[in-house]
Amino acid sequence: MNLSTSRRTAAAAVLALAGLLAATAPSASAAPRAALAAPDIPIANVKAHLNQLQSIATANGGNRAHGRPGYKASIDYVKAKLDAAGFTTSVQQFTSSGATGYNLIADWPGGDANQVLMAGAHLDSVTSGAGINDNGTGSAAVLETALAVSRAQLKPTKHLRFGWWGAEELGLVGSKYYVNQLPSTERTKFSGYLNFDMIGSPNPGYFVYDDDPAIEKTFKDFYTGLGVPTEIETEGDGRSDHASFKNVGIPVGGLFTGASRTKSSAQAQKWGGTAGQAFDRCYHSSCDTTANINDTALDRNSDAIAHAIWTLGTEPTTPPGESTENTTDVAIPDNGAAVTSPVTIAGRTGNAPTALKVGVDVKHTWRGDVVLDLVAPDGTAYRLKDSSSNDSADNVITTYTVNASSEPANGIWKLRAQDVAAQDTGYIDSWKLTF
């Protein structure tokens, strides 16, 4: 055994011991490590990628469209940068409209494989132009963020994955293909997908997707820090690749600076630019070149992507099996009104699990009198237990499993108990939710 191997073994033993101590320590005392701060993404680097994509289009008939040589050349350019930076890349082929399309997937080694955080952008243009705002901007900013992850040698808690989609302009074809070929067990491992499509429009707005609340908040917090107001993205919800992920239940978010819609005077007042003019007058046109970019918008959005990757990717991951308990006794009046006991869930992303465990400890002298429901934050009730005139045993001390996958995880959940027959009584002693 050489020295470096034995050192690694000793270090591994220390880590294992630390893990053991952390696992047995009471969870309340384990102060969670805060998420790390993101680096500034150099706008010059992002623009250098745009110049390369412009050159690729110019050398290939003026576009980077699906099935045209400029598309594959774009894939090769992005892939070479990622390979050199230590990513594990793969190119996925599909067929659309009789032509071969390509997705590029880049994994950053490490992080929790059961909690994947992915950022992506479509790399194809329409045939009428080079597609520098649509979507060289998203492609270049995601690429430069990935390269910043490599420069920082980031050790995220989540597993980071980056994607560049083909044939978005033909109807989200590449991203749909990617999601469809994922086994359902892999889909459940996504903690989020972040989409960037048109983030440097020349007459920009600052739009944040309002799909997943935790992801939306991450972007809004960044813009609040800059003192720049944002609006919710409404110019064709579902018109980009995040829809492919959202359709299979993956939490999504993203940024957008506007396409053919017109900037209002109120928007021009808060963001500058020209009222009564499209956010991008060159949308899907031959003039979508490197001249069709607002550098400030592209700079801010590139930094916002890094902020989201660093914040969501390095936040302490909540280990499966963690419980939140309410131990305050709540009396259940005899043959009376329903009572509730709350449990607050915060800081999670996405929905509750398909197998949400509801641990119940109800003391009662005749449990057949008792009806129990789990009430989700939006008021949806899940029946745990009905009354029964012949169940004369006492107490309900058990764990129920509820498919709560259509409910956002965060919010105030309640155990609701009602005693529906006279004489025997009891109380909620404690209950807990295990995610």
Exactly one of 64, 87, 116, 134 binds Zn ion (CB under 5 A); that residue is 134
Let me know if 169 is a catalytic residue: no
Three-state helix/strand/coil letters over 25-41 = CCHHHCCCCCCCCCCCC
Rule CB under 6 A: is residue 211 a binding residue for ligand TRP?
A: no
Rule CB under 5 A: is residue 211 a binding residue for Zn ion?
A: no
Residue type, 84: A
Instruction: Kindly tell me which of 197 and 369 has the beta carbon lying closer to Ca ion.
Output: 369
Q: Which does 424 bind (CB under 5 to 8 A by kind): Zn ion, Ca ion, ligand TRP, none?
A: Ca ion
Neighbouring C-beta atoms of residue 231, cutoff 10 Å: 16
Rule CB under 5 A: is residue 334 a binding residue for Ca ion?
A: yes
Rule CB under 6 A: is residue 301 a binding residue for ligand TRP?
A: no
Q: Give the C-alpha separation, 89 to 14, whole Å.
A: 33
Exactly one of 56, 173, 259, 384 binds ligand TRP (CB under 6 A); that residue is 259
Sheet holding 252-256, edge to edge: 88-96, 99-108, 158-165, 112-122, 190-196, 252-256, 207-208, 231-232
DSSP per position, 176-213: HHHHHTS-HHHHTTEEEEEEESS---SS---EE--SSH
Count of residues engaged in binding Zn ion, rule: CB under 5 A: 1
Instruction: Kindly tell me which of 210 and 391 has the beta carbon lying closer to ligand TRP.
Output: 210
8 Å CB contact between 192 and 118: yes
Q: Give the C-alpha separation, 43 to 82, whole Å.
A: 18
Exactly one of 107, 144, 211, 233 binds ligand TRP (CB under 6 A); that residue is 233
DSSP per position, 258-317: -SSSBPPHHHHHHH-S-TTSBS-TTTTSTT-STTS--HHHHHHHHHHHHHHHHHHHHSPP
Q: Convert residues 159-198 into a mask of x (bound to ligand TRP by CB under 6 A) and - (unbound).
A: ---------xx---------------------------xx
Q: Which residues contact 415 (CB under 8 A, 6 or more apart)?
A: 326, 340, 341, 343, 358, 360, 372, 373, 374, 375, 428, 431
Rule CB under 5 A: is residue 394 a binding residue for Ca ion?
A: no
Closest to 410 measured CA to CA, from 146, 215, 261: 215
Instruction: Give the binding range for ligand TRP (CB under 6 A) out of 214-222, 232-240, 270-278, 411-419.
Output: 232-240
Exactly one of 107, 134, 419, 429 binds ligand TRP (CB under 6 A); that residue is 134
Secondary structure letter of residue 423 according to DSSP: S
Chain center to CA of 212: 7
Instruction: Give the binding range for Zn ion (CB under 5 A) out of 89-97, 106-114, 134-142, 221-229.
Output: 134-142
Count of residues engaged in binding ligand TRP, rule: CB under 6 A: 12
Instruction: Kindly tell me which of 369 and 407 has the beta carbon lying closer to Ca ion.
Output: 369
Rule CB under 6 A: is residue 270 a binding residue for ligand TRP?
A: no
Both structure tokens of 405: 């996958």
Question: Beta strands 99-108 and 88-96: pairing type?
Answer: antiparallel
Task: Supply the minimum distance, in Å, between the C-beta of residue 326 and ligand TRP.
Answer: 41
Question: Can you tell me whether residue 72 is helix, strand or coil?
Answer: helix
Instruction: Kindly tell me which of 241 and 369 has the beta carbon lying closer to Ca ion.
Output: 369
Q: Convert residues 349-388 into a mask of x (bound to Ca ion by CB under 5 A) and - (unbound).
A: --------------------x-------------------
Rule CB under 6 A: is residue 116 a binding residue for ligand TRP?
A: no
Rule CB under 6 A: is residue 239 a binding residue for ligand TRP?
A: yes
Instruction: Kindly tell me which of 332 and 356 has the beta carbon lying closer to Ca ion.
Output: 332
8 Å CB contact between 96 and 138: no
Count of residues engaged in binding Ca ion, rule: CB under 5 A: 5
Residue showing tokens 């129920």: 400
List active site positions: 168
* Sites of contact with ligand TRP (CB under 6 A): 134, 168-169, 197-198, 233, 235-236, 239-240, 256, 259
Where do contacts with Ca ion occur on this chain (CB under 5 A)? 334, 369, 419, 421, 424
Residues engaged in binding Zn ion (CB under 5 A): 134
